[in-house]
């Protein structure tokens, strides 16, 4: 039985990746950071109905000794490093924590693997945010990076350290440069989920307005369930490498609002207001990925359209609010 260790198992991607790997017969072990609110931890795994099928083990990305102990206990064949302070906007408020977790934390996992389990295959969750102030209209693996936030700078460090461990120590370390991917399990602070949750609340009469920041930025949005397939495929290759994972379509926040509100028979212009509090010190205006390498080498392609993903998210948020209202 193949054993996978997932850091960030309680996050969006960790939950979908666990579901994928369990379906393939893996033993799935997740690193869990201690929380005083243990009752709500694992909510996403519970939502997918797999909380009892994964093993959770105590540790923290900033604590190398915990990672070494976990490697020794678990002896993973595959390591997926998904843990991070992952919210760009928060990274200006907590740049050092973001550097410690998102940047150094990844190297802690690489080090623990190198010391204890160097033959394990390693996946690093790199990000399209590394392209930042885009240097080419469509971004692929050869596009120069220009990070625009403390989050993106930390991710870039972790990305190059993954490349460096591959080249220096011969580790099977791969990096997925994933463009934005969403789902009903996306954190509520990210714009897609904020919009679908807002649509649900407005539709049910629980709110009238949805305050947002920059409506003109565009993102290449895919579905997390599709994107975790790419992570797994990368670790099944004989040779480790880096891959862009994207849909090849970019949509503005404004058009996202149009799609989400009209799905619920609402007009976004009646409800969306702009609030400067949600503007960022430096913006990533456009992201658009070219995933032709992932298609050619991995046989991977995005399968979910933005429209069907938004419909799934609005339906899930409507159900959440309806259930709450009846309690
Ligand atoms: P989430 O924010 O949903 O999940 C982050 C996970 O990291 C959570 O499980 C969180 O635990 C965990 N974590 C945070 N800090 C620590 C720590 N110090 N020690 C251990 N665990 C920690 O992210 P996603 O699932 O959306 O994304 C997965 C990864 O992919 C992240 O690295 C993200 O930056 C990256 N990425 C995501 C993209 C996207 O569009 N979703 C795009 C490109 C890259 P807890 O539940 O306790 O908070
Ligand atoms: P990111 O690409 O990882 O930063 O993902 P987000 O979903 O947080 O943001 C995507 C884009 O939406 C960025 O360009 C934001 O500036 C823009 N945006 C506009 N309004 C909001 C908002 O209210 N919240 C968030 N999170 N983003 C917003």
Task: Output the pLDDT for position 327.
Answer: 43
Task: Output the pLDDT for position 96.
Answer: 98
Nearest ligand to the CA atom of 214: 2
The pLDDT tens digits along the chain (327 residues) read 999 999 999 999 999 999 999 999 999 999 999 988 877 889 999 999 999 999 999 999 999 999 999 999 999 999 999 999 999 999 999 999 999 999 999 999 999 999 999 999 999 999 999 999 999 999 999 999 999 999 999 999 999 999 999 999 999 999 999 999 999 999 999 999 999 999 999 999 999 999 999 999 999 999 999 999 999 999 999 999 999 999 999 999 999 999 999 999 999 999 999 999 999 999 999 999 999 999 999 999 999 999 999 999 999 999 999 998 554
Tell me the pairing of strands 210-212 and 242-245: unpaired
Task: Output the pLDDT for position 41.
Answer: 85
For ligand 1, atom 47, the nearest C-alpha belongs to 33
116 alpha carbon to ligand 1 midpoint, in Å? Answer: 24
Nearest ligand to the CA atom of 70: 1
For ligand 1, atom 14, the nearest C-alpha belongs to 84
112 Cβ contact list (under 8 Å, min separation 6): 64, 67, 68, 70, 71
b/e for 195-204, b at 16 or more Cβ within 10 A? Answer: bbbbbbbbbe
For ligand 2, atom 9, the nearest C-alpha belongs to 191
Residue 214 Cβ < 6 Å to ligand 2: yes
Cα separation, 181 vs 189, in Å, equals 14
> What pTM did the predictor assign?
0.98
214 alpha carbon to ligand 2 midpoint, in Å? Answer: 8
Nearest ligand to the CA atom of 276: 2
């Amino acid at each position: 039985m193949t054993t996978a260790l997932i850091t960030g198992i309680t996050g969006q991607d960790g939950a979908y990746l666990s579901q994928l790997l369990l379906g393939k017969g893996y033993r799935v072990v997740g690193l869990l950071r201690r929380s005083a609110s243990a009752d709500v931890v694992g909510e996403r795994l519970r939502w997918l109905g797999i909380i009892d099928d994964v093993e959770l083990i105590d540790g923290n990305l900033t604590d190398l000794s915990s990672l070494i102990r976990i490697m020794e206990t678990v002896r993973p064949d595959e390591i997926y490093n998904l843990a991070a302070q992952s919210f760009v906007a928060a990274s200006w408020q907590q740049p050092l924590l973001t550097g410690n977790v998102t940047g150094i934390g990844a190297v802690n996992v690489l080090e623990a693997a190198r010391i204890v389990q160097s033959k394990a295959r390693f996946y690093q969750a790199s990000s399209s945010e590394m392209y930042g102030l885009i240097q080419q209209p469509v971004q692929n693996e050869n596009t120069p990076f220009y990070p625009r936030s403390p989050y993106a700078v930390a991710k870039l460090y972790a990305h190059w350290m993954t490349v460096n461990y591959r080249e220096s120590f011969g580790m099977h370390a791969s990096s997925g440069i994933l463009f934005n991917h969403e789902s009903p399990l996306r954190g509520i602070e990210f714009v897609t989920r904020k919009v679908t949750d807002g649509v649900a609340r407005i539709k049910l009469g629980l709110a009238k307005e949805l305050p947002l920041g920059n409506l003109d930025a565009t993102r290449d949005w895919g579905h997390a369930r599709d994107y975790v397939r790419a992570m797994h495929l990368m670790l099944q290759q004989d040779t480790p490498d880096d891959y862009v994972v994207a849909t090849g379509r970019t949509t503005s926040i404004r058009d996202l609002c149009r799609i989400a509100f009209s799905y619920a028979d609402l007009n976004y212009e009646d409800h969306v207001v702009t609030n400067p509090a949600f503007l960022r010190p430096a913006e990533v205006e456009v992201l658009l990925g070219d995933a032709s390498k992932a298609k050619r080498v991995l046989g991977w392609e995005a399968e979910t359209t933005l429209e069907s993903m938004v419909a799934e998210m609005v339906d899930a948020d409507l159900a959440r609010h309806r259930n709450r209202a009846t309690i």
